Amino acid sequence: MQVNWDSNKCCHAGVCVKSLPEVFKVEDGQFVIDPSKASEEEVKDVVCQCPSGALALVD
């Protein structure tokens, strides 16, 4: 599973980071996404909660 992030759409609400901090985090000032750190279902759920639509699943 791959998750894309559109920095231009992101409103920085923090839903992803607060919901799955092991998957969505900021390291050295860069937004990092590691979907292998949670189940596919958990990642999909958080992506669907993104208020700005900045996160998208890629098949």
The pTM is what?
0.89
Domain that holds residue 12: 2-58
| Residue 26, domain CATH | 3.30.70.20
pLDDT, residue 59, reads 76
> What is the three-class DSSP state of 50?
coil
Please state the domain count of the chain. 1
Average pLDDT over residues 3-13: 97
Percent of the chain predicted with pLDDT > 90: 98
Express each pLDDT in 16-48 by its tens digit. 999 999 999 999 999 999 999 999 999 999 999
Instruction: Count Cβ atoms below 10 Å from residue 25 Cβ, excluding itself.
Output: 15
C-alpha–C-alpha distance, residues 19 and 25, integer Å: 11
C-alpha–C-alpha distance, residues 41 and 47, integer Å: 10
